[in-house]
Structure 1
């Protein structure tokens, strides 16, 4: 398949709908801001598909379910959506939640195109039913480790909450940094207050602190404490998971949240399609779209292409189409392949960059490093 996205404004779709189940964190304790951006991208692409004639004349309809960052809730949603007759699943932001959804979808024979979750081991073993638009965590976080090394950091602390996702990130960083002469110190946020984090950073001689914790708690209090501690002037605060990408980060932290490097999955300059979609997303969201919104748009664009080419009523045929995808996305051509250590069909790779909010203009993002 090498079908470019259709141009909006042609004959609208009609007839019985083709259903796609859409998973996103839309309520707490999920990262609601990320879920809102993801859903905006999913819906924009679906609207454009329908304006261009739908799927063989049938309307594409998203059936949205809120996961609220709860794996059990996501599993129940997959069961419900499968029973409703969805042709495929799309979306999800949180990696642990996506892993639960992927396992259930795989067991049910339901194709799942994951938008944003990055955990390498998204499934227990190789499967043909699950594919992913976002890069694997190991690829992105190694890029982040390279950025730290290039900036001269050799003693790096991580403030970490207990979770599979944060533990995986810590392992990736350590395995990449240690052979290159850098040490990683773990600070267990189950036992440390923000003030105690500052003391530990000083005791360990760390030059960088990475936030592998929830947002806004305890990430925001940790940043405030470090910024206000004169002993730690010049220490770099980093957030590889991408928290500073979203406006809530800036609203809560102001100037304290600037200059915090994070991972984002965008090119340095968008092409014509990406620029057009970016403008449309900005209008819908009322703010600059994050990379998560582009991931959502690309997900539905790929699924629409697969369903047009392989039909809407045979889930096995849909899942079998991943190796044949060649679709123009907002950030480059999307193809899926097998990557060592990753059990799902993977786009290898979307663009990866390390960026931060410019302290001189917090609405501007500076690109600091690219993969």
Structure 2
């Protein structure tokens, strides 16, 4: 698996594997559960493509590297995978990691299909080498803000940690709330304990608190503190980045983790392909249901297999193929375009939902707000 092939696949036989590099968070401080879901989707799609005859008659081989949510580690992995002769890159979950990976892929001329990260601009300048399946943060978080406004919440507090991702989210919230007379109060979790945060909330105008922090720390202690503070009984807790999607959230918080709205990127109904993939993933991970991140992984390989079929694993031809892609994924028809404010080729747009865990049955999700794909 680690024997370096000739660059760009030169000297290979027609039946030799087409290698795809996969960047996935599999160890801490990365979000390991999300990484496992992403990898499960990637691996299942590779299996399905290979069982169907591969891409242009050649099997796909996944070369996985753990990013551990570390941008420097991700950039080094891109360098290594490029030397190993991969035809393209796939994956990533954390936006700061995706930004580092995209910058290196762009510099090296290596096609990169980003599965999950959402920062609007993953590169400083427009690039032909990078495409993305997940919606841009501004698109998804505006949908989340529409949900908040519709539920009567215009004065929002955010419990935030330093990060370009959290800062970008705060800016989107503020810009979208301002025309409606809304406001955002930032609470710096470097300076506040969960108890001190509750004191700040009790003396603010905020009717909702959004968790723009890491999971499980400090997100879990914050939720527990707010839930058990009688002064804050009417405060809505939200987590737009999706922490409640995964089983560890329910395991750690129990009933306290319910009724916390978050973003996920699924349609009301999966495509026939998506329904089949859901069944297979559920059988593999029972009793857990697959998250939207697993579908992002599956769709990534589905797209790359089609692109590589037509480009013959030539990197430049692969990158030139993004605007011509049209393939049925698990969540709808996937095609890429240039989108204002986004520096890469973008699926515009993945379906967006705001959901929460049902207090009556925390293993069940309720759809609170939805924006169909393509809008």
Q: TM-score if structure 1 supplies the norm length?
A: 0.95
Equivalent residue for 1:89? 89
Equivalent residue for 1:303? 304
Tell me the distance in 2 between the aligned counterparts of 1:236 and 1:310. Answer: 49
**SS of equivalent to 2:203:** helix
Unaligned runs of 5+ in 1: 1-13
Equivalent residue for 1:54? 54
> Quick check: 1:275 aligned with 2:275?
yes
Equivalent residue for 2:190? 190
Alignment of 1:229-248 (within 5 A): 229-248=229-248
Q: CA deviation at 1:273?
A: 1.3
Q: CA deviation at 1:58?
A: 1.3
**SS of equivalent to 2:368:** strand
Unaligned runs of 5+ in 2: 1-13
**SS of equivalent to 2:152:** coil
Equivalent residue for 1:30? 30
Alignment of 1:66-145 (within 5 A): 66-145=66-145
Q: CA deviation at 1:205?
A: 2.4
Q: CA deviation at 1:28?
A: 0.1
**Structure 1 residue ranges, 4+ long, deviating more than 6 angstroms after superposition:** none
Tell me the distance in 2 between the aligned counterparts of 1:105 and 1:367. Answer: 37
Tell me the distance in 1 between the aligned counterparts of 2:90 and 2:285. Answer: 20
Q: CA deviation at 1:77?
A: 0.2
Tell me the distance in 2 between the aligned counterparts of 1:282 and 1:39. Answer: 14
Is the Cα–Cα contact under 8 Å of residues 26 and 67 in structure 2 kept in the other structure? yes
**CA deviation string 1:148-187 (max 9, x = no partner):** 0000012110000000000000000000001111111000
**CA deviation string 1:319-364 (max 9, x = no partner):** 0000000000000000000000000000000100100000001111
Equivalent residue for 1:5? none
Tell me the distance in 2 between the aligned counterparts of 1:356 and 1:87. Answer: 39
Q: CA deviation at 1:271?
A: 2.5
Tell me the distance in 1 between the aligned counterparts of 2:152 and 2:159. Answer: 20
Tell me the distance in 2 between the aligned counterparts of 1:178 and 1:204. Answer: 17
Tell me the distance in 2 between the aligned counterparts of 1:297 and 1:206. Answer: 39
Q: TM-score if structure 2 supplies the norm length?
A: 0.94
Tell me the distance in 1 between the aligned counterparts of 2:101 and 2:358. Answer: 37
Tell me the distance in 1 between the aligned counterparts of 2:104 and 2:284. Answer: 32
**CA deviation string 1:293-313 (max 9, x = no partner):** 00000000000000001211x
Equivalent residue for 2:369? 369
> Quick check: 1:173 aligned with 2:173?
yes
Q: CA deviation at 1:15?
A: 2.8
Equivalent residue for 1:293? 294
Is the Cα–Cα contact under 8 Å of residues 75 and 104 in structure 2 kept in the other structure? yes
Equivalent residue for 1:359? 359
**SS of equivalent to 2:328:** strand
